[in-house]
Structure 1
Amino acid sequence: MDSDGSTMIDFHMGCFGLGITRILQATVEALSTETGIRWPSLIAPHQIYIIPKKDGSRGEDYMTAAESLSDTLTQMHHLRGEVVIDDRMNLTIGRRQVDADRLGYPHTIILGVKALESPAQYEVVKTATRETTFMSLEQLMSFADQIQTI
């Protein structure tokens, strides 16, 4: 209605060029490096990228350990659908780590030899800071509980 209430006026809405694709583009331009994307946790497609070591000749089963860890992490409500396992077992851990950096997953968990020891130790890499830490399962669960997805 206009000011005297006698005529209906149509309203139009616009985003003024700040659509979702523009926000993603600006984020990539502002935060990424020459070697990869750096997604903020709040808009990252996935939060955790698990890289299992190739299964060994002595019967080690790293893929099963990765699936078990993924199941444990996704039991946390805020991490459902946020965990990816790199099952390209024909590639080395280093090559898959490079790919994880390029894609910009905020956190990478590497299941190496220590992951099958008792107690298990997981190598956790924070992509944004390149900080690497070895964590027990309890420490990893505490760390994962602090990941913000919303």
Structure 2
Amino acid sequence: MTGRLAVGALGVLAGAYGAWLLLSRQDLTQLTSAAVWLAGGVVVHDFVLAPVVLVLVLLAGRVLPRHAHAPAAVVLVVLGAVSLLAVPVLGRFGARPDNPTLLDRSYGTGWLVLVALVLLLAVVATLVRRSRHRRTTPSGGSGGTRPGGR
């Protein structure tokens, strides 16, 4: 319990310091832009990302085998959130010809590498879950039953 309180206190202190830096070093226009961006992130998450992920999880639940459900859900959540956060750099919003150091990487390539790694890990997790399921399922059975007889 003491450890949790210490971690919570550190989090509160870090948040307060970040708020102080934000409020003391930005002008009103920058604060307004940050507030709009943060509010937009909440709206996009709640009204776009979350419903799309829920619908895709429901559809995937009907198509994918049971051992692939959790890895598929992780893929949707991780790639959905990272993709939304990456929109500004993937779209190169803010790039300026007079400052080539802004957005100086191939962010699309980095995003594709991340997608490949997440998908690879999901496939590995699915295969591990399937092999564990096969080891625990009695041979000759119908795959066992879940508690409650379903």
* Alignment TM class, shorter chain as reference: under 0.3
Give the structure-1-normalised TM-score: 0.23
Higher relative contact order (CA 8 A, sep 6+): 1
Higher strand share: 1
Give the structure-2-normalised TM-score: 0.23
